[in-house]
Amino acid sequence: MARNISVNKLNGMPVEKQGIEYVERKGIGHPDSLIDGIVDETSHVLSKEYIDNCGGTILHHNVDKGLIIGGASEASFGRGRITKKIEVIVTGRATSKFNSFSIDVDEIAKRTAKKYLKDNTRYLDLDSEVVFDSKVASGSADLTNVFVRNTEHKIPLANDTSFGLGFAPFTDTERLVLETERYLNSKEYKGRMPAVGEDIKVMGLRNGSNITLTIAIAFVASLTGDLSTYLKYKDEVRHDVEKFAEKLTGRIVTVHINAADPEDSDEVYLTKSGLSCEAGDDGSVGRGNRVNGLITPFRPMSLEAAAGKNPVNHIGKIYNILASVIANDIVAQYPAVEDCNIAIMSQIGKRIDHPLNLNIDISADHNANFNDVKDKAAYIADGWLENIGQFTIDVSLGKYKTF
């Protein structure tokens, strides 16, 4: 059965050649990213539990609702303490019983949340400074029924009529914003500059050929003895980012660190834990990065919260990741493609390997033959849909990021 794949010329100027571009990334310690990571890891753990105990089958679950409620803290040069605990709440739906198998979903969610914070933060006392809670209920009967139904070819059926979006390649600004946060949150950089906390947000503006990076960093108070040390650290980080940017782009890059800091004042961005959620900054699933790790208002973006959704038939997860993967595959194989936008729409209850439509919009340089690229792009997309079973397994194993 032929798939409904359409390929069109992308009208308009490629984003890289447009005059203005905005790009944002919320780092791994941002409260929105932390809760995305917690619920997605909970889905991975639940998937493994189901596979190990239910004959290799992942049961219905969507733990894609969660919240970090910020605490309160006092931080000054050389010291800091959390005065009101941070709260982490995981909610959603999940199967807790299957034949003779029974699973404590709430306990798994709380245990996973604690381990995730342990693995991705350095200065939180998880026993005394964070409260973990889970309120995961059973799934609705109609969606659970769609989940367990299979076609004769054992292909899952879409849980919803929805769509996923993706694009490639990244522009200079997109790549720079993404890699700058990863650089500042790398183990190597933390080893050299431990006072740089995990809560880092990078906002990029490209105006013509010039890029401005505005970076918010939660510095660790206990490792920052006084104002002169803080200012020294800021200057070092700015210099490091400027040098790092030279490796990624030939454009002029201007870097600002903690732009809200007042001049000649000690009311600066200090935290006990290196996280803003210690002092009232809340986090919610789906408010942060898209599945490609960025927030890109000049690009097609889905508002779906992919983190925590099941990897078997939840379109909000599968098609958003798949759209980005297909776009990157097309660009990797055909570098003449300047912009590639992918949109995939499902129809509830229909096979996920046969979407209602998969649309490819391509902008190619003047040397490319559109008809040649068109046929090859459709072939690539069809191949990914043909092997979507393996793709969903890889998603369940956490091989693709959702934020």
3-state secondary structure labels for all residues of 255-295: EEECCCCCCCCCCCCEECCCCHHHHCCCEECCCCCCCCCCE
Helices vs strands, H then E, count in the chain: 9, 17
Q: Where are the domains positioned within the chain?
A: 5-14+161-170+289-396, 31-148, 172-284
Q: Helix, strand, or coil here: 200?
A: strand
Convert the pLDDT of each residue in 93-106 to its tens digit: 999 988 888 999 99
* CATH number at 31-148: 3.30.300.10
* Paired tokens of 305: 């919260």
* pLDDT for residue 145: 59
Convert the pLDDT of each residue in 271-322 to its tens digit: 999 999 999 899 999 999 999 999 999 999 999 999 999 999 999 999 999 9
* pLDDT for residue 148: 60
Per the model's pLDDT, the better-predicted residue between 335 and 284 turns out to be 284
Domain 5-14+161-170+289-396 has CATH 3.30.420.130: no
Examine domains 5-14+161-170+289-396 and 172-284 and report if their fold is the same: yes
Q: How confident is the model at residue 394 (pLDDT cuts 50, 70, 90)?
A: very high
Quick one: CATH architecture of 172-284? 2-Layer Sandwich (3.30)
* pLDDT for residue 153: 60
Whole-angstrom distance, CA of residue 372 vs CA of residue 375: 6
Whole-angstrom distance, CA of residue 63 vs CA of residue 49: 15
Per the model's pLDDT, the better-predicted residue between 370 and 325 turns out to be 325
Mean pLDDT computed over every residue of the chain: 94
Q: Report whether 306 contacts 320 (CB < 8 A).
A: yes
| Longest Cα–Cα distance in the chain | 71
Instruction: Read off the pLDDT of each residue in 156-165 and give the average, rounded to a whole number.
Output: 95
Instruction: Read off the pLDDT of each residue in 23-43 and give the average, rounded to a whole number.
Output: 98
Percentage of the residues of the chain whose pLDDT score is greater than 70: 96
Per the model's pLDDT, the better-predicted residue between 364 and 69 turns out to be 69
Sheet holding 5-9, edge to edge: 5-9, 357-364, 337-345, 163-168
Q: How confident is the model at residue 216 (pLDDT cuts 50, 70, 90)?
A: very high
* pLDDT for residue 141: 46
Neighbouring residues of 249: CB distance < 8 A, sequence distance ≥ 6: 172, 175, 176, 211
Convert the pLDDT of each residue in 16-26 to its tens digit: 999 999 999 99
| Residue given tokens 């059926």 in the structure block | 157
Cis check for the bond before 169: say yes or no (omega within 30 of 0). yes
What is the pTM (predicted TM-score) of this model?
0.94
Convert the pLDDT of each residue in 99-126 to its tens digit: 888 999 999 999 999 999 999 999 999 9
Sign of dihedral through CA atoms 103, 104, 106, 111?
A: negative
Whole-angstrom distance, CA of residue 346 vs CA of residue 319: 8
pLDDT at residue 367 above 80?
A: no
